[in-house]
């Protein structure tokens, strides 16, 4: 009898009894549920932006420009706002600045379809003007929610509008670019880097050397964090 007991215990140990006899149901769907939640939250956010009232940007825009890329990505880029082509196609960064952005990403071996891209404002400002401070502030509520939903490991802010929307201050971009910062959004810390906007680089090509430094820095962080892109 005693021998049988010992044998049983040996047997149970050998088959990892804790795993087998755990009464809690195995949550096989946990990961997918998170993804479902994120997709639903993205739909809700888009609806919220669509229903914005008394907005000068929405009044003149043709389309809402929400995002592009992979919502499950661990890398998120924030630009300024849609231009003419983006407004027409309803997709961010598809014009000239977008073409340069694609080249910048290719240069550090990132496939555009593997990252997630959005803008501070989701409607084209008339005549491509810079969004006003009040507009940046208003849309930054949506942007913060957008970032919380995507929950990226690396957040890349391109240009002064993205900087103002999330850092809340008018800092000198030439001084702040290329430094890793931690920003807190809805009680979560995000690793963030500020860099030049591709449209600025088209106007000031002599600044591309600094942009290249930032891109290499981003690639290094991607590798350190073991992010697949
Ligand atoms: N510039 C931006 O900031 N965003 C776009 O989508 C296009 C140009």
- Which pLDDT tens digit goes with each residue over 49-104? 999 999 999 999 999 999 999 999 999 999 999 999 999 999 999 999 999 999 99
pTM recorded for the entire structure: 0.86
Which domains can be identified in the chain, with CATH numbers? 29-224 (3.40.470.10)
Q: Which of 69, 83, 159, 160 to mutate to test the pocket of ligand 1 (most atoms within 8 A of CB)?
A: 83
Q: Which atom of ligand 1 is nearest to the CA of 79?
A: 3
Centre a 10 Å sphere on the Cβ of residue 196 and count the other Cβ atoms it contains. Answer: 21
CA distance 25 to 29: 11
How would you classify the pairing of strands 116-119 and 180-185? unpaired
Q: Which atom of ligand 1 is nearest to the CA of 92?
A: 6
Q: Which atom of ligand 1 is nearest to the CA of 159?
A: 3
- Which pLDDT tens digit goes with each residue over 13-52? 544 444 444 455 655 555 577 788 999 999 999 999 999 9
Q: List the one residue out of 114, 221, 227, 146 whose CA is nearest residue 178.
A: 221
């Amino acid at each position: 009898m005693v021998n049988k007991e010992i044998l049983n215990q040996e047997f149970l140990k050998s088959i990892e009894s804790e795993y087998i006899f755990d009464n809690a149901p195995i949550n096989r769907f946990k990961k997918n549920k998170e993804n479902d939640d994120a997709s639903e939250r993205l739909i809700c956010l888009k609806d919220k932006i669509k229903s914005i009232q008394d907005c000068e940007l929405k009044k003149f825009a043709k389309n809402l420009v929400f995002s592009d890329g992979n919502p499950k990505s661990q890398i998120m880029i924030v630009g300024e706002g849609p231009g003419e082509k983006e407004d027409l196609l309803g997709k961010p960064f598809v014009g000239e600045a977008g073409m340069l952005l694609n080249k910048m990403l290719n240069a550090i071996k990132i496939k555009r379809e593997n990252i997630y891209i959005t803008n501070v404002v989701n409607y084209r400002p008339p005549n491509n003007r810079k969004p006003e401070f009040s507009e940046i502030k208003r849309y930054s509520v949506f942007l913060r929610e957008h970032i919380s939903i995507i929950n990226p490991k690396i957040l890349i802010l391109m240009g002064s509008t993205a900087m103002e929307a999330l850092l809340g201050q008018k800092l000198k971009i030439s001084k702040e670019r290329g430094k890793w910062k931690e920003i807190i959004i809805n009680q979560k810390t995000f690793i963030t880097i500020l860099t030049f906007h591709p449209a600025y680089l088209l106007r000031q090509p002599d600044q591309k050397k600094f942009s290249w430094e930032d891109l290499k820095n981003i690639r290094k962080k991607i590798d350190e964090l073991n992010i697949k892109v």
